Amino acid sequence: MTSEVTYAEVRFKNEPQSLGTKSEPPAAPKEKTNPHKSHPSFPKLLLASLLILLLLLAISFLIAFIFFFQKCSYIPKEKKTTKEIPHTVLECMKENSTTEGKDWSCCPKNWTSFSSNCYFISTEQNIWDESEKRCSRMEAHLLVINTKDEQDIITRKLKLDSVYYVGLSDPEGKRHWQWVDQTPYNESATFWHRGEPNNPYERCVVLNVRSGEWGWNDVPCNDRHKSICKMMKIYL
């Protein structure tokens, strides 16, 4: 017991002589802090910023590519039409016109473009009515020829030994020719072969070559021939 009391006296030897105050244990030494640990180093910040910038650029490029691809290669619902156009791939050209909604003029793939129209040359041989229905299923109609220039552009794509239905007919056999799109028939803007039309029972018209020249010929509507479809260009 004497050794314990002596230890207690040594412990309080340097304490203030106030008997009513409890002593506080010495404060633990404060842990040293390194000011560099609270903030990432400058190179790390720079690297992280560059990575974020590159990621944003990649996302922007991807969005722009998708938008451009959809506009030029895939046909969306056109703003100014209420019809569903059954063509999934278009070939488009930039228009010089600044008219809103007409920045690009497009034709379905494998169609021929001329002026404001698109033309499809069918190699299937059908009667006149079936040929017109086939064009209609593509939101087109049999060829309506308005000018010699238009006919010349199309005939450059045709085979010389073939015959092609166009959209001109005489339903009643009275020589009252009608275009399928209701364009008025103009006698002064026709391109009949010499001596044609020559038979009231031949009520449909084909485009063929005679004496080295392309022209029109009336034929029976139940004859089977190739055909040419025409539609307005699609504007995006």
How far is residue 236's CA from residue 233's CA, in Å, rounded to a whole number?
10
153 Cβ neighbours under 8 A, 6+ residues apart: 112, 114
Question: In angstroms, how far is CA 31 from the centroid of its own chain?
Answer: 66
Tokens of 23: 């002593």
Distances from the Cα of 134 to the Cα of 78, 86, 140, angstroms:
23, 12, 9
All structural domains of the chain, each given as residue ranges with its CATH number in brackets, are 119-230 (3.10.100.10)
* Of 195, 81, 207, 109, the residue nearest 154 (C-alpha): 207
Residue 138: predicted pLDDT: 95
pLDDT at res. 74: 45
Alpha-carbon 112 to chain mean position: 18
The one-digit pLDDT tens for each residue of the chain (236 residues) are 444 443 334 343 444 444 444 555 555 555 555 555 555 566 778 888 888 988 888 888 788 777 665 555 544 444 444 445 567 788 998 877 655 656 789 999 999 999 999 999 999 999 999 999 999 999 999 999 999 999 999 999 999 999 999 999 999 988 999 999 999 999 888 999 999 999 999 999 999 999 999 999 999 999 999 999 999 999 88
| CA atoms within 13 A of residue 225's CA, in its CB half-sphere | 27
Which pLDDT score is estimated for 32? 52
